[in-house]
Structure 1
Amino acid sequence: MKTVDGRQWATREDLIEHSGYGETTLKRLWRDRRANGHPGDRAFDGLMHWDMNAWDTWFAKYRERPRDLSGVDRSGDPDEQLPPAGQARVLGVDPARITQYGKTPPPGWPDPVRVEELPTRNREYRTRAQLWAWVDDPISGFGTKGGRPPGPDPKARARAAKVLDARVRLATEALAAMPDLKAGEVAAALAERHGQGVDTWKRIVTQARKQSQQQEAR
């Protein structure tokens, strides 16, 4: 801790000790400062410092943001180890959210208790107790509206459209390669091969069929 003109300035290590949160969490809060209003820094001796009073005031308000946790499932064995689909059911979110958390973890997202290695990816398991503790901690930001203005994020929408187009192509190829199978069976094969839920692939297979029919009708 450094005192300048009667004000205390804290390094990240000081903030870790002061707040009780880890370095990864505090780095994410700083990374998202444009959205969450994190105070700016000041360099002393080549190190980043933050005004302790300003940071404390901001952090208290950050933790008090209104949140909606009504969709969280509080039932079941706290120690049960859940795959991503089960984690999504506990949190009341789409399984794609858990996938996104794996790529860009939100503050405080718990480490997996077990990792299952699959041919194309790793499947991370977390317990209900971990998930409940995470959503109950305001630092998670779960249940808040976030800092981005209302409406779909154009970049995220473009990325999602690109991913969907790729999956529709996979479904179209699978339908052509397995013409005797029902849509649900094709979806199950795609889910086994590429991940994601069978219901998700059913919707994609349906879309692929519609697009093929529209092209044939032209």
Structure 2
Amino acid sequence: MPRKTSRTLYSRADLRQAHGLSESTLQNLWTDRENNGHPPVAETIDGVMHWDDAVWAPWHHELQRQRAAANTTNSPKLDGDPEEMVGPAEAAKVCGFADSATVSHYVKNPPEGWPPPDGWDELPTRRRPKWKRWHLWQYLANRKGRGHAGGRPKGRRGLAYPYQGDERLALAREAIAANPGATNATLIPQLQEQTEKTYSRPVWNLILKSAREHPEE
């Protein structure tokens, strides 16, 4: 069970149950933490690592969104609240499908990795499935055979690296150039003041990571 203090601390078993992820997926995310920006352990309780879910969940949602963007040559709609439930029409937009017919087909004959509905709308004559946006992002992020053959081409329809063309990446590059050697913890409060919408620290950590790895377009 998660530990309730001033924060909700989740062990890996809690994360698996709360977010529907496998043990191997969680282990792989932790193993690759230097590359993916995985949040640090918040507390070790009785020898078991725990993470602050208020930090971990936004980080994971943003990671899936970025992987989804980099793993499709379609034009997916990857904005919005990760936890928002969407029906077939919006799900098609999220996935970059031409219309909801593909989504309806996937409900009956799901391809590998297609998420089961997170809920249903009970209509007078039928039931309409709904999915959380981040579950659809996760499908796109992990989808095989639909990404960029032979690498990730540059251009509007594909990303050569995370946040390519994003104005927040430009801000991060400017902040790093103006403050060489500064840590993310120092830069993030400055960056949060420069955007109309407030983005979480896990999001900015990913953006700064990309800015450091790709200082120029």
Determine which structure has greater relative contact order: mean sequence separation of CA pairs < 8 Å that are 6+ residues apart, divided by chain length: 2
- Between Structure 1 and Structure 2, the one with more helix by share is 1
What TM bracket, shorter-length normalisation? Answer: 0.3 to 0.5
TM-score of the pair, normalised by structure 1 = 0.36
TM-score of the pair, normalised by structure 2 = 0.36
